[in-house]
């Protein structure tokens, strides 16, 4: 036997699931947008682990 | 009993109930003031970074609202104004509200740190802690000054917006903070004057309950008078200008006049006209804050054309 009755609670659960789904999609979109902007602008990132390494800076030319 | 009847007896929460848990009306005020803080800062913020920052500040505010609803469910159930909230109405389990509040707090703080800077994230974390623990758990039920000190939580968003842009707290950020901090007591005490039964029944030590209504009227006038110098100072600061100063003079004159009228009235007069003056003062207080912060934005826009600022 199949359960066919479409009850109000099913509509509410569907609405809740759609709401959560859209929220998660929006969150992914925001994180993606942020990532693109940060990478394009080269935000203060110090290598792969975000640690400042003086040896990565451009070498200062020695004065004669 | 069929499957259908079993389901009918369980009132499951819809998505809207979870949105209600985040206090969307409070969030809208947070979004507005934080956005103003971000826009009037003297540092350009990339629109995507700005949008994400405001979003996560709002999410943090919503999270603290959920934590507040979890803790205050017992008194919310008593007060007419709050008894239809999701937790006291039984649509959302208290534990669920706590979990949502904690999870969203963590997400909001971490994401704001990644989107803007660690200083802004730290301020947001402190704001959530201040509202959920210092105000809701500690002060609200223990002192009639709950509104005064708790008002600080609502005053942080423009400061966080400013810090998102500049990376540090400056005098302009403190002035925007001070503006909301001084504005909150008269705003809420006016509400307490005409919602008197609610707070009394819930046993919340509002000033109206502990010090009486005459004293509350005097407090409204005193705090409104103290708000004026903060407001004028903000208009004379780096975020103000001639336009802001003109707007501030008018806004404060009307606000002060309303507070004066409240102070002159007694309960018999207020009962007689259904708290008309108090209700009007409460509604105007919302316009006051909106227009005051709006004036900062107008000044900043004028500034880009060389017309605004000092």
- Spans in chain A with pLDDT lower than 50: 52
* Cα of B134 to nearest chain A Cα, Å: 30
pLDDT at B160: 97
pLDDT for B249 equals 97
What's the pLDDT at B3?
46
Searching chain A, which residue's CA lies closest to the CA of residue B13? A12
Best residue in B46, B58, B96, B117 for a mutation probing chain A (most A CBs within 10 Å): B46
**Which residues on B lie below 8 Å from A37 (Cβ)?**
46, 48-49
* Cross-chain CB nearest to B15 (options A3, A16, A36): A16
Alpha carbons B254 and B188: distance in angstroms, whole number = 18
pLDDT for the residue numbered B9: 44
Q: Which positions of chain B have pLDDT values less than 50?
A: 1-9
Q: Read out DSSP for B129-193?
A: HIIIIIIIIIITTT-TTHHHHHHHHHHHHHHHHHHHHHSS--HHHHHHHHHHHHHHHHHHHHHHH
Nearest CA in chain A to B50: A34
B49 in contact with A, Cβ within 8 Å: yes
* pLDDT at residue A51, rounded to an integer: 53
Please return the burial class of B88, using the count of CB atoms within 10 Å of its CB with bins 0-12, 13-18 and 19+.
buried
Chain B residues near residue A33 by CB distance under 8 angstroms: 48, 52
Distance CA B165, CA B31 (A): 15
Contact B12 A9 (CB under 8 A): yes
Mutation choice for B interface testing from A37, A41, A45 by most B CBs within 10 A = A37
The DSSP secondary-structure symbol of A54 reads G
Dist. CA B229–CA B223, nearest whole Å = 11
> Cα dist. B249→B37, B232, B235, B262, B277 in Å?
21, 8, 9, 20, 21
Six token digits for residue B113: 């740190």
In this predicted complex, what is the ipTM?
0.81
How large a percentage of chain A has pLDDT more than 90?
31
Query: Cα–Cα distance between B245 and B299 in angstroms, integer?
Result: 10
Would you call B6 an interface residue with chain A, using a CB distance cutoff of 8 Å? no
* A9 phi, psi to nearest 5 deg: -65, -30
């Amino acid at each position: 036997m199949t359960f066919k009755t479409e009850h109000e609670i099913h509509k509410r659960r569907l609405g809740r699931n759609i709401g959560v789904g859209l929220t998660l999609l929006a969150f992914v979109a925001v994180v993606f947008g942020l990532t693109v902007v940060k990478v394009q602008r080269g935000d203060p990132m110090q290598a792969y682990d975000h640690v400042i390494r003086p040896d990565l800076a451009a070498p200062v030319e020695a004065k004669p | 009993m069929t499957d259908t009847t079993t389901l009918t007896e369980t009132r499951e929460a819809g998505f809207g109930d979870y949105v209600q848990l985040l206090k969307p009306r409070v969030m809208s005020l947070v979004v507005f003031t934080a956005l103003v803080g971000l826009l009037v800062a003297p540092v350009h913020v990339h629109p995507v970074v700005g949008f994400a920052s405001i979003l996560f500040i709002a999410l943090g505010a919503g999270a603290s609202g959920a934590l507040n609803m979890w803790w205050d469910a017992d008194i919310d159930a008593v007060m007419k104004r709050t008894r239809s909230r999701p937790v006291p109405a039984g649509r959302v389990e208290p534990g669920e509200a706590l979990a949502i509040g904690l999870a969203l707090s963590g997400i909001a703080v971490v994401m704001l740190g990644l989107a803007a800077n660690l200083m802004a994230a730290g301020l947001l974390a402190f704001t959530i802690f201040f509202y959920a623990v210092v105000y809701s758990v500690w002060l609200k039920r223990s002192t009639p000054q709950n509104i005064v000190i708790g008002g600080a939580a609502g005053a942080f968003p423009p400061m966080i917006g400013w810090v998102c842009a500049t990376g540090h707290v400056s005098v302009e950020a403190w002035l925007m903070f001070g503006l909301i901090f001084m504005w909150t007591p008269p705003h809420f005490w006016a509400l307490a004057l005409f919602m008197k039964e609610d707070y009394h029944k819930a046993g919340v030590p509002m000033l109206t309950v502990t010090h009486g209504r005459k004293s509350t009227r005097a407090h409204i006038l005193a705090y409104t008078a103290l708000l004026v110098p903060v407001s004028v100072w903000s208009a004379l600061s780096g975020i103000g200008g001639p336009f802001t100063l003109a707007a501030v003079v008018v806004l404060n004159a009307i606000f002060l006049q309303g507070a004066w009228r409240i102070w002159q009235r007694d309960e018999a007069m207020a009962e007689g006209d259904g708290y008309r003056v108090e209700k009007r003062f409460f509604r105007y207080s919302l316009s006051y804050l909106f227009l005051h912060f709006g004036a900062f934005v107008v000044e900043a826009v004028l500034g880009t054309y060389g017309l605004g600022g000092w």
